[in-house]
Amino acid sequence: MYASSAPQGHRLSPAPPSSSSNAGRAGASPPVSLLAPGVESDPFPLYRTLREGYPLVRDELLGAWLLSRYADVRGALADARLGPVRAGPGPACRRLLEPALRAAAERTAYVLARRMAGRREVDLVAEFSAWLPAAAAVAALGLPWEEAARVQEWCRTGPAHLGGSHPELGGLLRSHVARRRARPGADLLSVLCGARVDGHALSDETVTGLAGTLLTGGGEATALALASFLANLLDHPAQLELVRARPGLIPGAWAESLRRDPPTHVVLRRATAPIALGGTTLPTGAVVACLVGSAGRDPFRFADPDRFDIFRADPAHLAFGAGRHFCPAATLAGLAAECGLRALLDVMPGLRWAPGFRSAPQGLMARAPRRLLVRPC
Ligand code: HEM
């Protein structure tokens, strides 16, 4: 398949067919579709079947070609013949966004965490992870706090991370941009209005675009990833205690959680030219579903892939994509996760699951536990 897609393990393993012998099965129908009942709650048996026997296969129900092995998913994500292209914040703009977002994420995480402290039992999704990304972006931009609820709803329901944006968002931002141009303040929106990138002031359109991306671009993905991150740590109290004692371990723990439980299991790409893969030629326009959730559990890439291990030497996850479409806001998402976890651990010294509670991730395009019932102290 892709040049790097014959990982040694796949070739050496007696059970799964090799990349070249898979060519004969490319195009055969998979035993079950990604849309079959039950797959949303537990896709892992299907992923295993696909990786072992159907590494490139057409899912008629989904209307897409499925790629499930780590090396193939990585290759497809980085393949220039597979779109789409969506504009994200460039490096110069990211340098403007990061400090303001870090400060706002820290403040917001503490506000949300302190509201829960002292209570007997709370749901960390309803009161924390679902709010933090949107509320931190609202705070960083200096928008009224009341807007957080609207923005959070747009993140949750909108097509934002897939390339669209909510129609009301532009109107909201344009009025705030006009006010900041007239009377600048100390917030990020004012900073963007006054910024010069490569010697040029940013146009209203660029400022609104950047602010809009920050508000809704990846808020939902970040919220879901944060929920899975918290669930993984709560499921492993010894690792949670290590992270509490040594916050320097947080980035590795976050990467490991993104490998094991990415918020988007399926990244869709479209062929912009015919592509020969595994003995099959996909026509222009063919939709390829890169199963990032399967790639992260590929045993030929990761030893004991179902295990959550914050000390894994090389998580090398594909949750943010790969190649030229790699998520431009990966650092911003990491900031929200790090600030969120630090605040929770600081404010809730005894944080643990509520008795008898087990988290249950749901969904494929947007996967995470929908409830996280905990005892804060
Ligand atoms: C944990 C959180 C996040 C995850 C897992 C994630 C994941 C991804 C993935 C997989 C892609 C590549 C899609 C493709 O290849 O077609 C992507 C692209 C993108 N993401 Fe994120 N993202 C996250 C957070 C964010 C945030 C917070 C923002 C905005 C502030 C953002 C903005 C974007 C943009 C603009 C692109 C398009 C890049 C391009 O096509 O060149 N993401 N993201």
Q: How far is the CA of 22 from the centre of ligand 1 (A)?
A: 31
pLDDT the model gives residue 217: 73
Q: How far is the CA of 298 from the centre of ligand 1 (A)?
A: 22
Is the CB of 329 inside a 6 Å radius of any atom of ligand 1? Answer: yes
158 & 44 share domain: no
Computed over every residue of the chain, the mean pLDDT equals 86
3 inside domain = no
Non-local CB neighbours of 10 within 8 Å, separated by 6+ positions = 16, 18, 19, 69, 300
pLDDT the model gives residue 162: 42
Q: Are 210 and 89 in contact (CB under 8 A)?
A: yes
- In 3D space, the residue among 339, 98, 133 whose CA is nearest the CA of residue 222 turns out to be 133
Q: Which helix (H) or strand (E) holds 374?
A: strand 373-375
CA within 13 Å, CB half, 10: 26
pLDDT the model gives residue 29: 61
Q: Ligand 1 atom closest to Cα of 219?
A: 27
Q: How far is the CA of 285 from the centre of ligand 1 (A)?
A: 22
Is the CB of 15 inside a 6 Å radius of any atom of ligand 1? Answer: no
Question: How much of the chain, in percent, has pLDDT values that exceed 70?
Answer: 86
pLDDT the model gives residue 36: 92
Q: Which one-letter amino acid corresponds to residue 67?
A: L
154 & 283 share domain: no
Q: How far is the CA of 218 from the centre of ligand 1 (A)?
A: 6
- The answer to whether residue 106 scores a pLDDT higher than 50 is yes
- In 3D space, the residue among 292, 215, 299, 308 whose CA is nearest the CA of residue 255 turns out to be 308
31 & 138 share domain: no
354 inside domain = yes
- Range with the lowest mean pLDDT among 137-146, 221-230, 293-302? 137-146
Q: How far is the CA of 104 from the centre of ligand 1 (A)?
A: 20
For the chain, the straight-line distance linking the first and the last C-alpha, in angstroms and rounded, comes to: 52
297 & 221 share domain: no
Is the CB of 340 inside a 6 Å radius of any atom of ligand 1? Answer: no
Nearest CA to ligand 1 atom 27: 218
204 & 247 share domain: yes
pLDDT the model gives residue 244: 96
DSSP strand pairing (275-277 vs 352-353): unpaired
Q: Which residues pair with 126 in a beta bridge?
A: none
26 & 152 share domain: no
pLDDT the model gives residue 13: 27
Q: Are 60 and 88 in contact (CB under 8 A)?
A: no
Is the CB of 267 inside a 6 Å radius of any atom of ligand 1? Answer: yes
For the domain that residue 33 is a member of, what is the CATH number?
Answer: 3.30.43.20
The DSSP secondary structure of 193-252, one letter per residue, reads HH-EETTEEPPHHHHHHHHHIIIIISHHHHHHHHHHHHHHHHH-HHHHHHHHH-GGGHHH
Distance in angstroms (rounded) separating the CA atoms of residues 57 and 136: 41
Q: Ligand 1 atom closest to Cα of 83?
A: 16
Nearest CA to ligand 1 atom 42: 218
62 & 150 share domain: no
For 47-89, the pLDDT digits (tens) are 999 999 999 999 999 899 999 999 999 999 999 888 764 555 5
2 inside domain = no
97 & 176 share domain: yes
- In 3D space, the residue among 177, 133, 140, 176 whose CA is nearest the CA of residue 155 turns out to be 133
pLDDT the model gives residue 19: 40
Distance in angstroms (rounded) separating the CA atoms of residues 231 and 240: 10
252 & 117 share domain: yes
What is the token pair recorded at 164? 């669209």
76 & 101 share domain: no
105 & 241 share domain: yes
Is the CB of 17 inside a 6 Å radius of any atom of ligand 1? Answer: no
Residue ending a domain, choose from 307, 325, 343: 325
Q: Ligand 1 atom closest to Cα of 326?
A: 12
170 inside domain = yes
118 inside domain = yes
249 & 275 share domain: no
> In the structure, what pLDDT confidence band is assigned to residue 2 with cuts at 50, 70 and 90?
confident
Residue to mutate, 101, 327, 338, ligand 1, most ligand atoms under 8 Å from C-beta: 327
pLDDT the model gives residue 278: 77
In the block, which residue shows the tokens 């929920």? 227
For 304-338, the pLDDT digits (tens) are 999 999 999 888 999 999 988 888 889 989 999 99
For 19-35, the pLDDT digits (tens) are 433 333 555 566 779 99
Please give the residue range of the domain that contains residue 157: 91-256+327-375
Is the CB of 73 inside a 6 Å radius of any atom of ligand 1? Answer: no
For 149-178, the pLDDT digits (tens) are 888 777 766 544 444 456 778 888 898 999
1 inside domain = no
167 inside domain = yes
How distant, in Å, are the alpha carbons of 118, 129, 154, 241, 257 from that of 375? 9, 16, 30, 15, 22
What is the token pair recorded at 65? 């070609």
> In the structure, what pLDDT confidence band is assigned to residue 296 with cuts at 50, 70 and 90?
very high
- The answer to whether residue 204 scores a pLDDT higher than 70 is yes
For 80-102, the pLDDT digits (tens) are 888 764 555 566 566 777 888 89
Count structural domains, the chain: 2
- The answer to whether residue 4 scores a pLDDT higher than 60 is no
For the domain that residue 219 is a member of, what is the CATH number?
Answer: 1.10.630.10
Is the CB of 325 inside a 6 Å radius of any atom of ligand 1? Answer: yes
Nearest CA to ligand 1 atom 31: 218
Is the CB of 77 inside a 6 Å radius of any atom of ligand 1? Answer: yes
105 inside domain = yes
